[in-house]
Amino acid sequence: MTPTKRIGPMLRLVLGAGAALQPLASPMLRRRLARGKEDPDRVREKLGHASAPRPGGPLVWLHGVGVGEVMALRGLIAALSVARPDLWFLVTSSARSSGEVFAANLPPRTIHQYLALDMPGPVGRFLDHWRPDLAVWSDQEVWPRLAVTCARRGIPQAYVAARMTDASAKARARFGRAYGDLYGLMDAIHAQDEGTAGHLRDMIGDAAQVAVSGSLKAAAAPLAALPDVQARLPDCAFTWVAASAHRADIDVALQAQAMGVEGLLIIAPRVLGDAGYIAQSCERLGLTHCLRSQNAWPDTTTQVFIADSFGELGCWYTAADAALIGGTFDGTEGHNPWEAAALDCAVIHGPHVANFRSDFAQLHGAGAAVEVKTARQIVDALGRSDLADIAQRARDVRDRAARGLSVIADDLLGLLPR
């Protein structure tokens, strides 16, 4: 490592804590397996045991923690692939659902693995096997031992679409210089917004080169729409979707539908286990419904289609005229609005959007989203005559975001060995 890439005492303490926890790795994974939180066929990936061979040629490793983060990486992969057709890509994530959804939207020359636990054994096995030519961290996740080990092995690293709230920055400050040293290991940093860039400069040092390039999610490729699934949906005059919906979103969406929205409501629950709750709520409200998991499909008389499946959200967005973005009616604080915008859905959302504050601000600045707080306001929003215009303005915002993606891709290409 160069002298500017220092490993201070606080970061060393963090690494030591991870090493001390290593004996607990296998028992912890067994408990998660028992609760259904790990894929039994792939759980060994978390211990650094790869389930796929390393491809020949240069390999870019990109990491995102969950579904939204890994899906956002697809646009960056596409941009890098155009410039360097010889590249292969390894995408890692942590959440089980992320692997299942990403598999349905896998870009060419791309492999998915679950990220190894940030402990000496798993990290060593992971890097020994994959030997990446470039490591790319995204959004809120940079794991200390993996980042330090990459630096020690001379693997260039970038942190892209970095996002840090004021509360997150305050929490990191409790660790002294640890996070400043960690982010100082990066060879390139791109933040989503000026607030995040300021926090990173405060931690690393005022001289830190932090570019503000926007959200990868805004420029991500559209979710896949499966023709055989699309063919099973009825040709309704109006369709709307409550996407990645939590129970608070589900409740308000069903209330709106029961108020007399003419057309089909598709509910894609964030937690598939909520399908029973949705069905019971439909019965209580007198709404006709059917469930995807029972291979039951709606017709033109169905009021609610419960889309309890993974990897098919692109189908529901493609079918819909408008989307109510989930997580915006409770403490979840919002999910990704760009997936809807990419497939010509007018974006409607509740008041809680802290996770995507800058993204929703972009949309509202362009007149490309509608905020609602009640079921009645949802009904009014769905009845607007300019929904198609709202969707068009969101596409225009996405086009501008693609220019930020190009800047990030150029930086990453500059870090790759020829």
Task: Specify the long-range contacts of residues 117-121, CB closer than 8 Å, at least 24 apart.
Answer: 117/25, 117/46, 117/47, 117/48, 118/18, 118/143, 118/144, 118/145, 118/146, 119/18, 119/19, 119/21, 119/22, 119/25, 119/145, 120/18, 120/19, 120/22, 120/145, 121/22, 121/25, 121/47, 121/48
Residue 11 in this model has a pLDDT that exceeds 60? yes
CATH of 227-400, one of 3.40.50.300, 3.40.50.720, 3.30.420.10, 3.40.50.2000: 3.40.50.2000
pTM for this model (two decimals): 0.74
Measured CA to CA, the distance from residue 90 to residue 51 in angstroms comes to: 12
pLDDT for residue 392 is more than 90: yes
- CATH dotted code for 9-214: 3.40.50.11720
d(CA 59, CA 307): 36
Comma-separated ranges of CATH 3.40.50.11720 domains in the chain: 9-214
Q: Is the pLDDT of residue 113 over 90?
A: yes
286 in Cβ contact with 262 (< 8 Å): no
DSSP character for 274? G
> Chain-centre distance of CA 73, in angstroms?
8
**What pLDDT sits at residue 3?**
44
Q: What are phi and psi of 383, to 5 degrees?
A: -90, 0
CATH 3.40.50.2000 location in the chain? 227-400
**What is the mean pLDDT of the segment spanning 26-46?**
92
CA gap 274, 288 in Å, rounded: 17
- Per-residue H/E/C for 74-104: HHHHHHHHHHCCCCEEEEEECCHHHHHHHHC
Q: What is the pLDDT, as a whole number, of residue 357?
A: 84
R_g (Cα) of the chain, nearest Å: 22
Q: What is the pLDDT of residues 61-95, one digit of tens each?
A: 999 988 888 888 999 999 999 999 999 999 999 88
CA distance 370 to 390: 9
pLDDT of residue 153: 96
Q: What is the pLDDT of residues 114-170, one digit of tens each?
A: 999 999 999 999 999 999 999 999 998 899 999 999 999 999 999 999 999 899 999
Question: How many Å apart are CA 246 and CA 242, to the nearest integer?
Answer: 9
C-alpha distance from residue 51 to each of 40, 62, 74 (Å):
12, 17, 21
Cα separation, 60 vs 111, in Å, equals 10
Helix, strand, or coil here: 14?
helix
Predicted pLDDT at 1: 53
pLDDT digits (tens, 9 = 90+) for 213-255: 988 888 877 888 889 999 999 999 999 999 999 999 999 999 9
Does 111 score more than 80 pLDDT?
Answer: yes
Q: How far apart are CA 134 and CA 409, in angstroms?
A: 12
261-314 pLDDT, tens digit per residue, is: 999 999 999 999 999 999 999 999 999 999 999 999 999 999 999 999 988 999
The torsion of the CA quartet 26, 31, 33, 37, rounded to 10 degrees, works out to -110
Q: How confident is the model at residue 332 (pLDDT cuts 50, 70, 90)?
A: very high
Could you give the CA distance from residue 203 to residue 18 in angstroms, rounded to a whole number?
A: 22
Give 344-385 pLDDT, tens digit per residue. Answer: 999 999 999 988 887 898 899 999 999 999 999 999 999 999
Structure tokens of 371?
């905020």
Tokens representing residue 330 in the block: 């409770």
Name the residue type at position 55. P
